[in-house]
Amino acid sequence: MRPETRAELARRLHRYLETGSTAMADEVFPNPVSAYTSEERLALERRLLFREHPLLVGFSGRLAAPGDYLTDDDTGMPILVVRGEAGTLHAFANVCRHRGARVVDGCGQGKRALSCPYHGWTYDLDGRLIDVPGEEGFPGLSREDHSLRPLPVAERHGLVWLRPVPAEPDTPIDVDGLLGGLAPELATY
């Protein structure tokens, strides 16, 4: 953040604390009660805001080295974010392609592979299926077709963003577009 911006924000905050006030709008903006009680609106907001819109899921520092990972279920869809061997960040649906079990729980560091606890299907840090115990029982299995499902992910200004349900999987996340005028303020982080 630019020093002059930080100083102005600090002055404004101190003024609000001293006066017991806050930033106020110039006029009243009434909201209909249905904005808070409508099931249809809730479903629409969940879909648009928590599925189709990019979300901030963490700090890059939590995923600093290959094998560092985190999981998130806040969108209603299990998500896995992991730093790959080459240092690239990946995001996947945290669902084994065999029986749909969660591949990883929680967060941690230094994973070398991602193994499903149900039948042991194992994926590398780039999401590729690398081991199938009893593979002879799956004639014609294409490992490539059974890799973890990727999700769009972006890393910028020390923050990790992802889109839980991509319209097009290869459509990148425009972080600077999301942040608008805030991007320069975050550039120093």
Does residue 14 lie within any of the structural domains?
A: no
Does residue 68 lie within any of the structural domains?
A: yes
Does residue 157 lie within any of the structural domains?
A: yes
Does residue 77 lie within any of the structural domains?
A: yes
Does residue 3 lie within any of the structural domains?
A: no
Find the domain containing 66 and state its range. 55-186
Q: What is the pLDDT of residues 23-49, one digit of tens each?
A: 888 999 889 999 999 999 998 988 888
Report the domain count for the chain: 1
- Flag whether pLDDT at 189 surpasses 90: no
Does residue 28 lie within any of the structural domains?
A: no
Does residue 10 lie within any of the structural domains?
A: no
Please tell me the pTM assigned to this model.
Answer: 0.81
Query: CATH number, domain at 157?
Result: 2.102.10.10
Does residue 41 lie within any of the structural domains?
A: no
Q: What is the pLDDT of residues 66-119, one digit of tens each?
A: 999 999 998 888 999 999 999 999 999 999 999 899 999 999 999 999 999 989
Where do we find the tokens 């939590």?
62
